[in-house]
Structure formats: structure tokens, C-alpha cells
Amino acid sequence: MQLSNGVSAADSELWESLKQGEERAFDRIYQRHVRALYQEISKRINDQSAVADLTQDLFLSLWEKRETIQPQGEIYPYLYGMAMNRVLNYYRKNRLQPQFVAIWDNLSEDIAGLDDLSLAFKQAHNEELESLIDTAITALPPRMRQVYTLRYERRKTVPEIADMLATSPNTVYNQLKGIRKRFVAALKNTSFFLFF
């Protein structure tokens, strides 16, 4: 049975059960999709140990983030998006640039036959990026975090921030440069760096 949003009732129920922390739902998702995801990753990476690690990492991440994910479609396309993020990160981390570019270039061909995959890939990609950014923000020193909050969350101008913190605009600019450097460093070993 399909719901009005195109998601099967079974997938919708599994998503909700997973978000509630039901291990049986996680086990069903794992058993249903682990083999296909392992095969998709192994098509792109020849190291079977790395393939196994990435597959397990994908499901570990799914379990750890179960309360915060906001899936909007079928389960498999969402997991496939997570898998492709891990493949791209693997190539990036291991500096295997030619293969990385080939994987990226062929990705649209690989997903052409899957209806909801583009949306699911973008959603998984965005959720992982948000998590990475949240971690980078949390790791900022207190003063930099304060500047970040004022500039990017409260939308204050540099002169306003300088005034509020009783410092010079030049100091605020330097803090913003430091924030950017930290974010770039956090993104460097991920596929997100391609888009930064």
C-alpha cells in the first residue's frame, strides 16, 4: 500500500519504529538492505575490508542518528545516499582522486533508474553536512562561537558585533577568518569539500 506521499506503508512504519528506538525495526531494515548496499559500495571500492567497514558504519550512523533523521521517502534510496556519501568520503580521505572523480561523474548514471534516489541522496547528504557543521561549531573556542552566533545566527554586521563585544571590527574579521579555516579543515576529508 502506498501513502499519499508515495512512501509505502511498510517503510513509513519502519521509519517511525526506528525513530522510536525499536531494535526490531532496525534489524528489519538491516536485513532487508545490507546485502544490496554492500554490493553497491563494493562496485566502487576494491578493498573488501573497507567495504565491510563502510557498510557497518552506514548502519551504525543510521542507528545513532535515528531520532534526528527526517526521512521523506523510501528506505533504500535514503540508505543508498548515505552509502554514496561514504564512498565519496573514502576516496577523498585516501586521496584517490581519479577514482573519486570517476565515481562522482558516473553517479548520475547509477541513480537514473531509481525514482526517489536524487531526493534521498540530497537529504542524506544534507543531514550529514548539518551534523558535521554542528560538531565544528561545538568545537569552536568560546569567543569564536560567540562571533559565529552573532554573525550567522543572529545576522549581526561586523561593526555591530565589534560594538557588542567591545572589540575592533578587525578583531571580528580575524575571528571570522579563523572560523572559516576551522570549517574548511573539518570538511577537507569529506565529500562536502567538493562543494565548498
Judge whether residue 191 has pLDDT over 80: no
Helix axis angle, 23-42 relative to 9-19, nearest 10°?
110
In degrees to the nearest 10, what's the CA dihedral of 59, 193, 186, 167? -140
Confirm if 46 and 85 have CB atoms less than 8 A apart: no
Does some domain include residue 133? no
| pTM, 2 dp | 0.52
Span of 1-15, 94-108, 125-139 with lowest mean pLDDT: 94-108
Domain identity same for 100 and 161 = no
What's the burial of 39, exposed, middle or buried (CB within 10 Å: 0-12/13-18/19+)? exposed
Domain identity same for 27 and 56 = yes
Domain identity same for 18 and 99 = yes
Alpha-carbon distance of 193 to 196, in angstroms, equals 5
Q: 89-110, pLDDT tens digit by residue?
A: 887 777 654 444 444 445 544 4
Domain identity same for 31 and 90 = yes
Final residue before a domain boundary, out of 124, 150, 177? 124
Does some domain include residue 130? no
Confirm if 165 and 156 have CB atoms less than 8 A apart: no
Domain span including residue 163: 139-196
What per-residue confidence (pLDDT) applies to 37?
95
Q: What does each C-alpha distance from 77 to 119, 142, 168 come to in angstroms?
A: 8, 39, 49
Pick 157 or 132 by higher pLDDT.
Answer: 157
- Give the chain's length: 196
What per-residue confidence (pLDDT) applies to 125?
60
Could you tell me the three cell numbers for 101? 572523480
Domain identity same for 16 and 105 = yes
Span of 10-14, 78-82, 129-133, 192-196 with lowest mean pLDDT: 192-196
What per-residue confidence (pLDDT) applies to 27?
93
CATH of the domain at 172: 1.10.10
Q: How many domains does the chain have?
A: 2
